[in-house]
Every structure is written in C-alpha cells, then in structure tokens.
C-alpha cells in the first residue's frame, strides 16, 4: 500500500500556490448541487439496476432512467433520427474450447495455459480460429511514429505471422542521459505505448496474432488484471468498413516470454535494451512457430448510447460535448458478503451525475450560442465501445465539435486545492483549464501516474484520436492536494479506491462521501463549457499531440 501511495504523489517539483481566503471560500461554494449528485448515484448504483451491464435488464432500466432525467432537465432528444438513443451493436466472443495452444521450438513444445501463461481472445466473430506454424516476429515496442523519426518495423512483412511486443514506450523508465530519453513521453505513456495501438498496428500490417509481453511496472497493473477476463472480448459490430483486427490478441506472461526467448537463443533483457534504439528493426525469432486451435462462442448484443442536447441560438452546428459512461460490470461471482452486483457508483454513475448537473444548470441559464450535446455512452468497460461506435458514425460532425469534456471517476474525499490534468501537450483546452481553476482559487497539477496512460483509457479518447480537443477528469490519475490532509491524504484516497473499490462490489454509493471535491471539478467543466458555448473560439490541437495532423485536415470546416 505504501508503495502505491508514493506512486500516486505528484512530482516533487510541483509547488502548490499558497492558500488564500478566496481559495478557502471556493472549496465551500459551488452552483453544483451535492445533494443532486448523491441522489443520482444512489439510484443508478442501486441493486435495482443490476450493475448496468450492456444488453441486460439493467441496461433497460438505466436507459429509461437517463431519458427521464434528460427530459426533466429540459434537454431535447439528441440521438439518432431525432430520438434519445443511438443504437450500438456489440459482438461478444468467448473462448470456450482450447484444443491447441503452444509454441513449437525446434524439438520442444511449449504448451500454454489460458490465464496462467497467456491471455488470448478474438474480436473477429468466428466460431473457430486456427493458426498453424506461424512465425513469431519480435517487433520491440512496435512504434511507427514518423513525427518522432521512429519505425520499429523496417521492411518486415507481418502477413500471417505473430507480432510480439514490449509494453509501453521505448523511453519508459530509462535514465535521463539515455539517448532515447524524452523521445516519446518519458514516464508519461503515449498512444504508441498502449496495447490497443499495438494490436491495431499489427492488424494494419496483416498479422494473424498480436501479443504484448506483460511487465507490471511498464503496464501499470499486475498480471491478475491483464488476465482477469481470459478469453472474453467485446467489439463494435462492423460491416467490414471498420478497422481491421488480428485473429488473436492478448498478453503473454513474462515467464513464458522468457522461455520463448531462450528457446530462440535470445535474451529478453538484451532485446529490451536493443529495442530502445532508433536503429532497431523487427526480426523473426529463429526456430519458433505458434499454433492455436480454438472454438468461440459468439453473441450479438444490442445496446444504446443516450444523447440529449441544448441547441445553440447562433451557431447550432458547432457542438460542445459533455459525456460519461452509464455502464458498469453487471453481476459477478458473489463476494464474501454474498453480493453479486458490481454497482459502479463512482465509476461512472458519479461522472454521469456530474454531467447531468452541468446540463441542468446550462438549461436553466441564458440561451447558449453553440449547441451542447450530453452523451451517456454504453460499453466503456468493454473497451470504450459506445463512444467508439459513435465516433465511427457521428451524429454531430467531429470537424465542428469544439471540444469534448468527459467525467469518469471523481474525488469523493473532500475539497482540493488543485485539479489533476490527465495527459499533457494535447490541446489549448489545457490553458483554459488552468484559467478556470484559477478563478476557483485552485491550480492545475500533472497526473501522478503518467505511466498508466489514462489519457488513452476513457471515452474521450475515441474522439481525441480523431482530432477533437478533449479534457478528461479522472479521479485515479493522482492524489489531489486536499484542503484537509494535503497531497498525502489525496494519494491515500486514490490508493484506497484502487485497492478496495475499483471494478468490484465495493464501488457502491456511500452516505459518508464528501462530494465537495467532486463538485469543484464539475463546476470547473461547467465554467469551461459556458466559455466555449458563448464564444467563437476553436481550441487548437497542439503540435506535440499525436493527432494534430488529423485535426488540421478538417480546418476548412471551421473557417
């Protein structure tokens, strides 16, 4: 626990401004109703909603509740074809029959057990997947980043092969004087470090399978998390026009990866060092071939995003989006207290409550010049799928989406002197955030766990990767500088939530929550929304963002 708390602390060179009387007052007074926040969470996280899993009775109750609340606020329907919802068809596949799973290493067969040595699944909706004698290619960190003058692939052809990746970025954890230091994000993971990018890049290059070697520090979580749902996979149903997928994807346990390397006459530690050089190029591991023969159970799940809006009076085609996800984990195996419902109170019923509070205040105020869209996404916990489905076929053009603000897990430990910024160097919204925090008597702190890549792990990212400026508020990004107890108390709250409540039955509504800190962050997003909704400002994507070129391609739509 102590090690985790230390990790949650902010960098020592971040100096907090001295407290002022204005700051003390700002921590006590906001226009956001704490009672409303609590009441909404108490309802959504109740057993009646059965954990809000997509495609269940819990979804039906959740969608009905959200529509009722949107109507009560006075929002207009903002979904598909003038309705409240935007249908999302999901494909759920589960490995149910593992007939073969091994690596042939010359005269030796390395058999692998699902969940212990490897975690594999498929997003391709087929009942049988067979891979025979596929060569294994070590691709290092697997980054193809022309803006950083970096390419790990060289001229290798991955068609029909297995791509084997290191997790995170080439410059993660290196010394300051290392030649690669600062080439990517340092200890702050970039998109190139995420497993999702690695799988996508392998698919683009025709690989049959993609595996990431699990290392706890570089991944940001242990093997128990990486292998927590072995064989299960969710994807947005595609008509074939969506992004390609490999047949098999997943994690390879570090111990098994070392066995592979030894069998190929390689040393994993030495390869990790070599992969941190810009001269590294992917290569085939001699003498190894991958084999898999498995059966899948495939089902289609019909789910819904829920959207409302406040139409702008002067520039209605320019939209600002407020969003959170309505889904949680449904029902699981009974815990020690016999509870099966995983209620998702903070993750993300509280975020949804915050979004609804902002919408309530906006609707009760003066008319807005731009349109504000309120989105409640499905299937975030299955891989950001509701927001991804929307981004693939948006109702409101992404080119003229001014910004997206996402709330996903909020501070329940009391008022804070700061707000945590998730991600860095993405857009001019970061400077706007600092200005809004200053009006509250607060300041902005960088995330305390940048290696976890949280910027790439919430629904806003489905829009960010397509060039939309975004801000994410996520309470587990680092310990806030609490008014009572400071950074140490904030880090303790984060550590406690992660250890005891995150993604389990304990993430329940709590009458002892101190929601003043949550209200501060919700108020900050309200202020930013109002500023943008009554301006002609288009916050720019920064040159340091991976997605600057994508936004630039649509510049004419904003002229």
Q: Which residue has the tokens 């080119």?
A: 399
pLDDT digit string (tens) for the chain, length 559 residues: 333 223 343 443 444 444 444 444 433 445 899 999 999 999 999 999 999 999 999 999 999 999 999 999 999 999 999 999 999 999 999 999 999 999 999 889 999 999 999 999 998 888 999 999 999 999 999 999 988 899 999 999 999 999 999 999 999 999 999 999 989 988 888 889 999 999 999 999 999 999 999 999 898 888 988 887 789 898 998 765 556 789 999 999 999 999 999 999 999 999 999 999 999 999 999 999 999 999 999 999 999 999 999 999 999 999 999 999 999 999 988 999 999 999 999 999 999 999 999 999 999 999 999 999 999 999 999 899 999 999 999 999 999 999 999 999 999 999 999 999 998 899 999 999 999 999 999 999 999 888 788 899 999 999 999 999 999 999 999 999 999 999 999 999 999 998 889 888 999 999 999 999 999 999 999 999 999 999 999 999 999 898 999 999 999 999 8
- Which residue range forms the structural domain that includes residue 488? 33-74+311-557
Task: Compute, in degrees rounded to 10, the torsion defined by CA atoms 493, 499, 502, 506.
Answer: -90
Dihedral sign computed on CA atoms, order 93, 98, 100, 101:
positive
3 assigned to some structural domain: no
Same domain, 124 and 48: no
The residue among 298, 322, 337 that closes a domain is: 298
Residues 403 and 503 in one domain: yes
Any domain includes 398: yes
Q: Are residues 167 and 230 in the same domain?
A: yes
Residue 45 lies in a domain: yes
Domain boundary among 298, 328, 349: 298
CATH code of 393's domain: 3.40.630.10
Q: pLDDT value at position 221?
A: 83
pLDDT score for 297: 95
**317, 293: one domain:** no
Closest by CA position to 529, among listed 356, 367, 322: 322
Q: What is the pTM of this model?
A: 0.86
Count CB neighbours of 266 within 10 A: 18
Domain-embedded: residue 5: no
Last residue of a domain, one of 244, 268, 298: 298
In this structure, the answer to whether residues 144 and 257 fall within a common structural domain is yes
Residue 145: inside a domain, yes or no?
A: yes
Residue 286 sits in a domain of what CATH number? 3.50.30.30
Same domain? 275 vs 374: no
Q: Whose structure tokens read 């697997």?
A: 142
Answer yes or no: is 19 within a domain: no
At 197, is the secondary structure helix, strand, or coil?
helix
Cis peptide preceding 480, ω within 30 of 0: no
Overall number of domains in the chain: 2
The CB-based long-range contact list for 312-315 (8 Å cut-off, 24+ gap) reads 312/368, 312/369, 312/370, 312/371, 312/372, 312/533, 313/367, 313/368, 313/369, 314/369, 314/370, 315/369, 315/370, 315/371, 315/536
On whether both 104 and 169 belong to a single domain, the answer is yes
**For the chain, the helix, strand and coil percentages under 3-state DSSP, each to the nearest 5:** 35, 25, 40
DSSP strands (E only) in 389-448 = 401-407, 418-421, 443-446
Quote the pLDDT of residue 20.
Answer: 45
- Secondary structure element (H or E) that encloses residue 471, with its range: strand 470-473
Does one domain contain both 412 and 442? Answer: yes
* Distance of alpha carbon 384 from alpha carbon 103, whole angstroms: 32
Same structural domain, 65 and 106 = no
Q: For residue 306, tell me if it sits in a domain.
A: no
What whole-number distance in Å separates Cα of residue 383 and Cα of residue 498?
Answer: 19
**Is residue 534 domain-resident?**
yes
pLDDT of residue 186: 85
The answer on 98 and 154 residing in a single domain is: yes
Quote the pLDDT of residue 225: 82
Together in a domain, 334 and 202: no
198 lies in the same domain as 340:
no
Q: Encoding tokens for residue 56?
A: 């269940």
């Amino acid at each position: 626990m102590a090690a985790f708390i230390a990790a949650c602390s902010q960098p020592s060179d971040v100096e907090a401004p001295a407290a002022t009387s204005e700051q003390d007052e700002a921590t006590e007074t906001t226009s956001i109703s704490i009672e409303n926040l609590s009441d909404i969470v108490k309802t959504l996280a109740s057993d009646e909603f059965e954990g809000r899993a997509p495609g269940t009775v819990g979804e039906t109750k959740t969608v009905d509740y959200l529509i009722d609340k949107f109507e009560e606020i006075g929002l207009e329907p903002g979904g598909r074809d003038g309705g409240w919802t935007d249908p999302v068809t999901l494909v759920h596949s589960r490995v149910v029959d593992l007939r073969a799973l091994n690596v042939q290493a010359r005269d030796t067969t390395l058999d692998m057990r699902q969940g212990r040595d490897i975690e594999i699944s498929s997003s391709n909706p087929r009942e049988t997947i067979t891979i025979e004698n596929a060569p294994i290619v070590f691709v290092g960190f697997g980054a193809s980043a022309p803006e950083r003058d970096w390419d790990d692939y060289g001229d290798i052809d991955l068609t029909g092969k297995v791509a084997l990746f290191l997790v995170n970025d080439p410059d993660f954890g290196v010394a300051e004087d290392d030649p690669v230091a600062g080439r990517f994000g340092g200890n702050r993971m970039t998109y190139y470090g995420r497993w999702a990018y690695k799988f996508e890049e392998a698919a683009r290059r025709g690989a049959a399978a993609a595996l990431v070697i699990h290392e706890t520090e570089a991944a940001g979580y242990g093997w128990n998390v990486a292998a927590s749902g072995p064989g299960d996979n969710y994807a947005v149903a595609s008509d074939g026009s969506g992004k390609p997928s490999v047949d098999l994807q997943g994690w390879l346990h570090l111990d098994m990866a070392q066995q592979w390397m030894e069998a190929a006459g390689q040393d994993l530690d030495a390869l990790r060092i070599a992969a941190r050089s810009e001269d590294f190029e992917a290569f085939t591991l001699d003498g190894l071939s991958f084999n898999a023969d498995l059966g899948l159970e495939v089902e289609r799940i019909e789910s819904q995003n829920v959207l409302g809006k406040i139409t702008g009076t002067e520039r209605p085609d320019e939209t600002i989006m407020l969003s959170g996800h309505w889904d949680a984990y449904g029902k699981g195996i009974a815990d020690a207290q016999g509870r099966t419902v995983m209620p998702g109170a903070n993750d993300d019923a509280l975020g949804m409550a915050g979004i609804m509070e902002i919408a309530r205040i906006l609707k009760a105020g003066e008319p807005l010049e731009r349109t504000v869209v309120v989105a409640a996404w499905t299937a975030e916990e299955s891989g950001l799928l509701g927001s991804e489905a929307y981004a693939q076929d948006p109702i409101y053009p992404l080119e003229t989406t001014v910004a997206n603000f996402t709330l996903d897990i909020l501070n329940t430990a009391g008022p804070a002197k700061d707000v945590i910024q998730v991600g860095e160097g993405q857009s001019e919204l970061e400077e706007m955030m600092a200005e809004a925090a200053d009006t509250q008597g607060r300041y902005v702190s960088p995330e305390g766990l940048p290696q976890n890549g949280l910027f790439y792990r919430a629904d806003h990212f489905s829009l960010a990767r397509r060039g939309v400026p975004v801000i994410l508020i996520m309470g587990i990004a680092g310990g806030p500088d609490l008014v009572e107890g400071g950074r140490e108390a904030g880090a303790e709250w984060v550590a406690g939530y992660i250890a005891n409540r995150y993604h389990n039955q304990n993430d329940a509504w709590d009458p002892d929550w101190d929601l003043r800190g949550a209200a501060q962050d919700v108020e900050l997003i309200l202020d930013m929304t109002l500023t943008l909704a009554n301006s002609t400002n288009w916050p720019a994507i920064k040159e340091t963002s991976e997605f600057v070129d994508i936004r630039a391609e649509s510049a004419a739509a904003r002229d």
